[in-house]
Amino acid sequence: MTWLYVRGIIARPESPTVGRRWFGTRSAIQLVIAMNDTHESNDGAQGEPTGNGVNRRWFLGSAATTAAVGLAGCTNTDDGGDGSDGSDGDGGDGTDGGDGSSGGDGGSSDPLLIGGLFPTSGPYASAGQGMRQAFELAVGRFEDGVGGREIETIVRDTATAPDTAVNEATSLINEEGIDLIVGGFSSSVCLVLQDLAGREEIPYFAGGGSTLKANGESCNAHSYYAYASGWQFSGAGVTAYERDILDSLFFIQADYAGGEGVYEGVTSVMESETDADMMGRVLAPLGADDYSTQISKARDSGADAVWAATVGADSIKLVKQAVSAGLTDEMEILVGVVGNSVGEALSDEELGSIYGGANFYWTAEGSGDFSDEFRNDVGNPPEWWAASAFDATMEALTAVDENDGSVANADIRPYIEEREFSWSRPDTSWRSCDHRAVQPYYLLEGNPSGSDSGEYWSIIDDTGGEAIMRSCENTGCGL
């Protein structure tokens, strides 16, 4: 009877409105809802299949999958920016430190085969592309080969995922027979690559991971980091103190392992090198969309400056929200790691309100040749990750060249450990106790008028040397 009634309604259309022509009559629709209320079928709510079989359970499954993918993405996000995540990479156990006397085909006349591992897809594809371009620039400087050997390269994509990176590297070693590895972006990726390099006894020159673990308990003799660790970010704080920009410091720290290392390093160095007061810290969830409570706590801290131990997109969000909340009217903000990728996402007002730290900036004295070459080739100024990939590649190839084509770590290691270099950064040297570069760390000031020239930051000054590094005795490395 009900359905007959329904049919009756449909058979008696009301006035020919556009709505009815398109969709049907109001009373018919109301009836559907009324019927549903009366004969509650609970289709979606109880997980019963509806129509094509899409139901609540299906939606929940999809949502869970999305969340899992998203959380994985967040984890990668954590790695990015300064690459100082450090997460849970299995690293090494110290046993593979040794002197790396084996491995490689020292003195061979075969082509030198280099494996380049960069995140050319995924959330850090931009960084990966820059690293790859810098890698190719460096290789291009050795047109005549190294130590009598031609150079061949194979580049693989890590997607900023440790498992992908280790699979690709293993394939390069076992199937392609590469002689050395360059690259890796994010601490977790670098840690697994250096562990693999140690086990396979192949030299590894890292491209972008600032974790302390790499040169601490997970270090090995085959791995080399040609750029600053998270501890060295403190150089920007020391300079800011010396320039009377800050006397006291409050931390807004991204809640991840690398952030902890930065906090530990900056507070330790500031306490030993300055009289600045450390006024505490507040953690911020990684990838957070909202920093209001952190901004409130910073405001209440009594400090005259905030250190933002955040990276990439998180730094952008934090600065935008802090400036919008008027925090920069009350205190200075120093973002631990910046570059053009952060600067170009900030307005003139936001940029003009903050300071930043960097282990490389393209306008720095000593970066000229590399920066000019990169700009001519790529069109944009290089970021720090490109500079790190460039330095890593240059050091690797120089070492092979100077050792008559040998890639044996027994030859490369003593040579590297004595070296000073200035490929993209001035006054850099290797520290033999942990294979980390000793180099200046810059304090930058936002440059609101520089967006046209790509000079989003102006260099104020730098602080470098071992004073801003963890002492060899405290690294736990034991090389």
Partner 1 sequence: MSLAANILEGIIYGASLGMLYVLVALGLTLIFGLMEVVNFAHGAFVTLGAYLGISFLDLTGNFWLSMVLAGVVVGVLGLAIERTLIRRLYGEEPIYQLLLTFGLALLLEGAVILTYGQDNQLLSAPALLQGSPVPVGPATVPQYRVFLILFTGVLVAGIWLAIQRTKLGLIVKAGIEDRERAQMIGVRLSRVNMLIMAVGAGLAAVSGFLSGPLLGVSPQLGTGLLIVSFVIVVIGGLGNIRGTIISGLMIGILFSLTSFFYPSLANPVIYVAMAVVLLVRPEGLFGGVGS
DSSP 214: G
Counting contacts by CB under 8 A, is residue 429 touching partner 1?
A: no
The tokens describing 291, both together, are 């920093």
Counting contacts by CB under 8 A, is residue 347 touching partner 1?
A: yes
CB of 348 to partner 1, least distance (A): 9
Dist. CA 16–CA 26, nearest whole Å: 12
* Selected binder of partner 1 within 320, 366, 373, 467 (CB under 8 A): 320
Dist. CA 207–CA 393, nearest whole Å: 9
Question: What residues between 265 and 284 interact with partner 1 by CB under 8 A?
Answer: 282-284
The single residue listed with the structure tokens 């003009």 is 352
Number of alpha carbons in the 13 Å side-chain half-sphere of residue 427 = 12
Counting contacts by CB under 8 A, is residue 29 touching partner 1?
A: yes
Q: Which stretch binds partner 1 (CB under 8 A): 2-10, 105-113, 136-144, 266-274?
A: 2-10
Counting contacts by CB under 8 A, is residue 286 touching partner 1?
A: yes
Q: Which is nearer to partner 1, 27 or 101 (CB)?
A: 27
Cβ partners under 8 Å of residue 373, min gap 6: 137
Cβ partners under 8 Å of residue 453, min gap 6: none
Counting contacts by CB under 8 A, is residue 44 touching partner 1?
A: yes
Dist. CA 77–CA 310, nearest whole Å: 11
* Selected binder of partner 1 within 170, 293, 449, 471 (CB under 8 A): 293
Q: Which is nearer to partner 1, 303 or 479 (CB)?
A: 303
Q: Which is nearer to partner 1, 143 or 329 (CB)?
A: 329
Question: What residues between 297 and 316 interact with partner 1 by CB under 8 A?
Answer: 297, 299-300, 312-313, 316
The SS3 assignment for 278 reads: strand
Q: Which of 313, 318, 277, 329 is nearest to 295 (CA)?
A: 318
Dist. CA 298–CA 281, nearest whole Å: 8
Counting contacts by CB under 8 A, is residue 177 touching partner 1?
A: no
Counting contacts by CB under 8 A, is residue 66 touching partner 1?
A: yes
Instruction: Count the site residues for partner 1 by CB under 8 A.
Output: 81
CB of 441 to partner 1, least distance (A): 23
Counting contacts by CB under 8 A, is residue 285 touching partner 1?
A: yes
Q: Which stretch binds partner 1 (CB under 8 A): 96-104, 121-129, 132-140, 457-465?
A: 121-129
The single residue listed with the structure tokens 């400056």 is 305
